[in-house]
Amino acid sequence: MMNKLAKQLSLMVKRRPTLQTERRNIVFHREHDYRTCLKQLSHVGITPVKTNDSLRSICCYADRTRSWKHLHNHPRVAFVERDRKVKAHEVKSPINSALVIKSRIPWHVNRVKAPPLWLAAHFGNGVKVGILDTGIARHPDLRIAGGVNTIGGKSFADDNGHGTHVAGIAAATGQRKIYGVAPKVKLYAVKVLNADGAGFVSDIVEGIDWCLSHGILIMNMSFGLNGDSQLLKNAVRRAKSKGAVMVASAGNSGMQFKQIDAPARYPETVAVASTTRGNQVALFSSRGRRIDVSAPGVNILSTWLKGTYVRESGTSMSSPHVTGVVALLRSVRSGLSPSQVSRRLKMTALHIPGGLDAAGYGLVQAAPAARFSCYKIRSKNRHQIATNRAKMPI
């Protein structure tokens, strides 16, 4: 039965992309079936676009002119899905030029109460943080510990700017101009998006897998898709089970849709919305269930290509604030589980207008989150906090 399935799969895919193909992920229930199909593909000279041993998935160029129904319904195939594209959550600013820096600690880093925690947290020293994005460019205010390219190249250098900007918010060193939230973390560039700020789900999954294999248990994902992906959901779920805190931007659809993007809407992530300097929810920030906390995301100053600094807006900019806070928390309390980290962030967030579906529990606060005791707050009080926040005006 399995040999027949392997041969059928080899007939359904192409060696290279054409106008009649699209990338699809085939996921198997069992390790043996996964290995047998890989062997059969190799036998007929087909090299998959990607494979993932942990999730038993094969990404191939699928022939759209043929019916895939029998593979979708095969008892040994968990599921088959299109390898969807994700996009960075960035709102382009009207002016994107180098700026003069007045203070080495930007307002938005102060706003999330990071500096009061720096000494106790040793500035996040040694904590590994993966930035899953367009890569990270060399910059005098960034210290890159390593990285990987999952989109078909060797370099993890940034050719877009988005990943460098996100990295600076989380971890700019302050050696030249500005500090990020956690200036001394071990920063890893996980290049999963191309020069246009786009990438496939399979690229993201490979990046997550690489982080786990290198002991990187804090990951920032400033991108999303409106649709869904079971493969991405499985990868995020597996990462959390391994102890990883996955921080994801909610999206930039404003009130257009009634849900936030994936992977932010998955319960295993910390979903982040955007706020303005006036502590209001940004107009572009996506609304919907599953937002956890908010962070600054409008006109955020950070590192850019060619050693410059620019201001950018988007929930992409909000997410790394929370990622940096998580790094500081784990520097102070290394034993915190992903669920405990999420709870601290939510229970100590600063109340802001908007309600749960826009602002989540409020503006993330690093120092209070580090002081918070999970055991001193009574369940009655926790219920009251949630009730009060649910009643906040939208």
**Tens-place pLDDT, residues 67-96:** 898 888 999 999 999 999 998 887 765 444
Eight-state DSSP code of residue 252 = S
Residue 173 host element (H or E): none
Give 92's DSSP letter: -
Mean pLDDT across the stretch 319-343?
97
Q: Residue 6: its pLDDT value, please? A: 84
Report, as an integer, the average pLDDT of 379-391.
Answer: 43
DSSP-assigned letters across all residues of 185-233: SEEEEEE-S-TTSEEEHHHHHHHHHHHHHTT--EEEE-EEBSS--HHHH
Q: Which domains does the chain have, with CATH numbers?
A: 2-83 (3.30.70), 88-390 (3.40.50.200)
Quick one: CA dihedral 262, 210, 292, 375, positive or negative? positive
Q: Which of 33, 133, 158, 261 is an active site residue?
A: 133
Q: Is there a contact between 191 and 150 (Cβ–Cβ < 8 Å)?
A: yes
Asked if 133 is an active-site residue, the reply is yes
What DSSP string runs through 280-306? -B-TTS--SBT--EEEE-SSEEEE-GG
Counting residues of the chain whose pLDDT is more than 90, the rounded percentage is 80
Per the rule left: phi > 0, alpha: psi between -120 and 50, beta: everything else, 197 is left
Output the pLDDT for position 140.
97
**Do 13 and 22 touch, CB atoms closer than 8 A?**
no
Residue 193: other Cβ atoms inside 10 A: 30
Looking at residue 9, its amino acid is L
Distance of alpha carbon 67 from alpha carbon 115, whole angstroms: 58
Please report where in the chains the tokens 């990951």 appear, as a residue.
219
Is residue 381 predicted with pLDDT exceeding 50?
no
Q: String of b and e for 312-347 (b: at least 16 CB within 10 Å)? A: bbbbbbbbbbbbbbbbbbbbbeeebebeebbbbbbb
Mean pLDDT of the chain: 90
- For 28, 41, 66, 374, the CA distances from 81, given in Å and listed in that order, are 12, 19, 15, 40
Catalytic residue among 74, 108, 139, 162: 162
Torsion 23-25-31-37 (CA) sign: negative
Q: What pTM did the predictor assign? A: 0.87
Task: Give me the amino acid identity at 202.
Answer: S
- CB-based contact 265:288 (threshold 8 Å): yes
pLDDT for the residue numbered 94: 46
> Active site residue: 222, 285, 316, 342, which one?
316
Say if CB 249 and CB 163 are below 8 A apart: no
Residue 316 among the catalytic residues? yes
Q: Tens digits of per-residue pLDDT, 205-258?
A: 999 999 999 999 999 999 999 889 999 999 999 999 999 999 999 999 999 888
CB atoms within 10 A of CB 145: 15
Tell me what the mean pLDDT of segment 16-22 comes to: 92
Residues in contact with 46: Cβ distance below 8 Å, sequence separation at least 6, in sequence order: 10, 13, 14, 15, 60
